[in-house]
A and B are shown apart, each in its own frame.
Chain A
Amino acid sequence: MKIGVICEGHTDRAVISKILKGLKGIDSSQIVPLRPDYSRDETDLAVNPVDSFGSWTNVREECLNREKISRFLSIEDQGIIIIQVDSAESHEFGVTKPEKNQNYSSVLRQRIIEKINEWLDNEFLDETIYAVAIEETEAWILTIYESRDSTTSADPKARLKRILSKKGVKYTHNLEGFSDISDKFSKRKNFAKEKYLTFNQSLADFCQEVEDKL
């Protein structure tokens, strides 16, 4: 089955693809990027070089519009979409952050899901899997490289950079680079052995939803 992915950036899709491979054996050829995309050509970008990739704005647009989602789901063997956002920007879109306690991750995730559903006008609820990373997708990758809770990391992006640099792992901030550094997610045995899910609640919640819906 083909799975459509609406996400903030290509790097997020790279991580999601690896997780789907590890948990469900889904080949990357089955992952269809719905956002970000090349919705504007180079001629338009030359005169108005607004970054068309990523961010909540683009995810929100796609959810409000829903045409592309409908078209994707209109084809046989295409029944699931994954919507990914990082929580880092959530306050700018009317999602208030909860108190920082042990339920912080789950409560914030739920609030973001409610916001996404509001954008979707509560359509496609059965067909949608929510990949909400608290605070950034880098926090999920951190679980591969250090055995400690990454949910509370103040700046997962910077921490991942620091940790990988210490370990001598070089990577680029693009699809290929993030595919490489999250490759361990692509083997189911690693999830059991390395206990990734115990180090990040939002990763665990996403994986649970994948197990339930796919």
Chain B
Amino acid sequence: MDVLISNFNSYETSKLLTCKLFFNWLDKITLDKHDENKLEGYKLGKSSSTLYFHDRFMQKKNNLFSAENANEGILHVIFYLALFISNKTPDFFAIDNIETALNPKLCRSLIKELTKLSQERGKQAIVTTHNPAILDGLNLHDDSQRLFEVYRTDEGATEVRRIKFKKGVSAKNLKLSEMWMEGLLGAVPNSF
């Protein structure tokens, strides 16, 4: 990921910095290309990452920390953004359990941002999730954003069904996340 980001052009970098919106503690992101911070004791583990973060709330003289000391959430978000932003990543890829280590509110905003980026950057992705909050970032009235339920039949076969509203349905007055939790979209076990 470091290599990918370090080769970003100014447009891609500006896009990547949208992640600041998601992390209110984040002041800036830096890449220590020559790994100089390591010699100053900022990286104690074996990580070869040169990615660093500056915390907005910590004292300026002591607000720098390496990727290996950062929370998983920001690393995942930067990775997803980089995948969608970069012109060097494939046009079609998959992300498994995109919600991992993310706050529920962040899930919604991230999906909205990624769908926007996928249009802008010509990417198509299959994203799996087990977290209802992810669904709230989708606009199912936009045909390019599609939701599927994956389930097993009595015989054990895996089947896939597209979740789509009937024509004429406008306001459903309930978030997709809540509809999922209510069991209305399927994709929940019924045995307990």
Contact = CB atoms under 8 A, between A and B. Distances in A.
A76 B154 contact: no
Given A32-B186, A33-B183, A74-B169, A176 B191 contact: yes
Contacts of A60: none
B174 interface: yes
B190 A33 contact: yes
Of A27, A37, A72, A74, most buried by chain B (CB within 10 Å of CB) is A74
Interface in A31-83: 31-34, 37, 67-68, 71-77
A71 B190 CA distance: 19
B159 A29 contact: yes
A196 to B, nearest CB: 21
A21 interface: yes
Contacts of A67: 173-174
Contacts of B161: 77
Contact of B191 (A4, A71, A77, A175): A175
A27 B157 CA distance: 11
A29 B172 contact: no
Q: Is the interface of B mostly helix, strand, loop or mixed?
A: loop
A76 B164 contact: yes
- Secondary structure of the A side of the interface? mixed
Contacts of A29: 151-154, 159, 186
B163 interface: yes
A80 to B, nearest CB: 14
A45 to B, nearest CB: 16
B182 interface: yes
A2 B187 CA distance: 12
Contacts of A31: 190
Interface residues of A, number: 22
B39 interface: no
Contact of B172 (A32, A71, A76): A71
Contact of B184 (A21, A68, A77, A176): A68
Contacts of B186: 2, 29, 32
Interface residues of B, number: 23
B179 A71 contact: yes
A31 to B, nearest CB: 7
A27 B190 CA distance: 13
Interface in A18-36: 21, 27-29, 31-34
B166 interface: yes
A96 B184 CA distance: 34
A15 to B, nearest CB: 14
Contacts of B164: 75-76
A164 B38 CA distance: 73
Given A27-B154, A31-B190, A74 B182 contact: no
A72 B163 CA distance: 11
B185 interface: yes
Given A74-B172, A75-B165, A27 B183 contact: no
A179 to B, nearest CB: 9
A73 B165 CA distance: 9
A28 B153 CA distance: 7
Given A21-B154, A68-B182, A68-B184, A74 B165 contact: yes
Given A71-B174, A74-B166, A75-B164, A28 B190 contact: yes
Given A74-B172, A76-B166, 11 more contacts: A28-B154, A29-B153, A29-B159, A32-B184, A68-B184, A71-B172, A71-B184, A75-B166, A75-B185, A76-B164, A77-B161
8 contacts: A28-B154, A29-B152, A31-B190, A34-B182, A34-B184, A68-B182, A71-B182, A75-B163
Interface of B: 151-154, 159, 161-166, 169, 172-174, 179, 182-186, 190-191
